[in-house]
Amino acid sequence: MKKIINYIDQGQGIGLKYLALLALILGILGGIGTKVIATDGIPLAQQVADQLLPMKVVSGKIVEPQETYKVVHLRLGEDENAYPIPIVLDTTSDMLDIDLLDQGVYITRSYLYMINEHEARTYKLDGDFELIQKDYTNEFTSFINWTAFLVGAFVFGGLFVFYFLATLVFSFVAGLIGASKKIALDFNTKMRLSSVALITCVLLFWVLRLVGNINVNMWLAAIVVVALQIYFIRCLKEQPTTTFVESKAQNAANKAEGIIVSAKEKAPTKKSKRPAQKKESVKAKASTAKSDKAPKKETSKAKLKKEVADEPKPQKKRGRKPKA
């Protein structure tokens, strides 16, 4: 039970995968049940084919057998007596009066009639074809396999859509129940809670149907789902660690923090500037290297000036100048 409550409280999604899994299981069971029941009827179908065939149709009319009236009889199980069933072949006429027909299947020269208590359907024979008399067990088996597959697919799709719509309705009810208990539930939590309650109810009623052959109507099933929702919401409220609202806020904060961290990791890192101290050390090294280098050769002009400056200047003689 604790795992179920944790899934409702902190799980991911809205529970669609579990609804789809339940619908898939029931669809497979429906296909298997169709195959088992129809396979038991293959010997009976073969008895019908043996009594109605061969049959040849040309231009939408039965030409073989002609002028024949036959009611199909079946032998059930190990009973040697054959009992009539409402399948009639009548090639003595083209059309029949539907108002005078009982429930059953009627085949005339040009029409096929299918009558039940609610409606009567008429089909015109068309084209040219021939059905020979032989063992049709393989053909019946292949037809049953495809029929079982289509039934299973139809049951899966129909139940999944039905369960999803029912979960949406029950999620609204869960919101009302949570508001009455002063518990805030977001959409995903309400959907997970409703899907768990619905799946529990369906599994419970299937067990009752298989074990005790007990069928439950839709209104009782809805009441059971609501009762399960009230129970699960009470369990959410009584969690010992943190309250439900606090846990949801913490989960939202954790998700936001994870998004920010992932965005920072994906962002390209810029090249960091070198510190000023490192620049100064580089400049000092450069100046030292320049000082260590040999001095450049002086130009000729500078060298000449230097030599002139180094020559001693002539001293002037003291005394009077001689008279001319």
pLDDT digits (tens, 9 = 90+) for 99-127: 899 999 999 999 999 999 889 999 999 99
Is the domain of 127 the same as that of 152? no
d(CA 152, CA 157): 9
Q: Is residue 266 part of a domain?
A: no
Q: Are 64 and 71 in contact (CB under 8 A)?
A: no
CA–CA separation, 151 vs 229, rounded Å?
32
Residue 90 forms part of a structural domain: yes
In a shared domain, residues 121 and 99: yes
Q: What is the pLDDT of residues 202-227, one digit of tens each?
A: 999 888 888 877 777 888 989 999 99
User: Residue 289 — pLDDT band, cuts 50, 70, 90?
Assistant: very low
Is the same domain home to 242 and 148?
A: yes
Residues 6+ away with beta carbon under 8 Å from 157: 23, 27
Q: Would the pTM count as exceeding 0.85?
A: no
Which pLDDT does position 165 carry in this prediction? 96
> Rounded mean pLDDT of 301-324?
48
Last residue of a domain, one of 222, 247, 272: 247
Verify that 126 and 148 share a domain, yes or no.
Answer: no
Is the same domain home to 156 and 230? yes
Instruction: Write phi, then psi, for 17 (nearest 5 degrees).
Output: -65, -35
Q: What is the pLDDT of residues 42-55, one digit of tens each?
A: 999 999 999 999 99
Q: Is the same domain home to 168 and 237?
A: yes
pLDDT band at 319 (very low <50, low <70, confident <90, very high): very low
Span 258-271, pLDDT tens digits: 666 555 555 555 44
- Kindly state whether residue 282 falls inside one of the protein's structural domains: no
CA quadruple 241, 243, 246, 248: dihedral positive or negative? positive
Averaged over 223-244, what is the pLDDT? 78
Provide the β-strand partners of residue 57: 62, 129
Domain co-membership, 28 together with 147: yes
Based on the fold, state whether residues 71 and 14 are members of the same structural domain. no
Distance CA 167, CA 189 (A): 12
Q: What distance in Å separates the CA atoms of residue 145 and residue 143, rounded to the nearest whole number?
A: 5
Structure token pair of residue 209: 């149907």
**Residue 147 sits in the same domain as residue 241:** yes
Question: Which neighbouring-strand residues pair with 82?
Answer: 75
Directed axis angle between helix 187-212 and helix 137-180, to 10°? 130
Residue range(s) defining the domain that contains residue 67: 54-132
Domain count, the chain: 2
- Answer yes or no: do 60 and 101 share one domain: yes
- 274 is a domain residue: no
Q: Tell which of 224, 247, 270 closes a domain.
A: 247
Same domain, 198 and 228: yes
Instruction: Say yes or no to pLDDT of 275 above 50.
Output: no
Q: Are residues 21 and 148 in the same domain?
A: yes
Q: Indicate the range of 51-55, 185-189, 226-230, 249-253 predicted with least confidence.
A: 249-253
Measured CA to CA, the distance from residue 158 to residue 177 in angstroms comes to: 29
- pLDDT greater at residue 92 or residue 295: 92
Does residue 286 lie within any of the structural domains?
no
Q: Which of 192, 222, 247 is the last residue of a domain?
A: 247
25 phi and psi angles, rounded to 5 deg: -60, -45
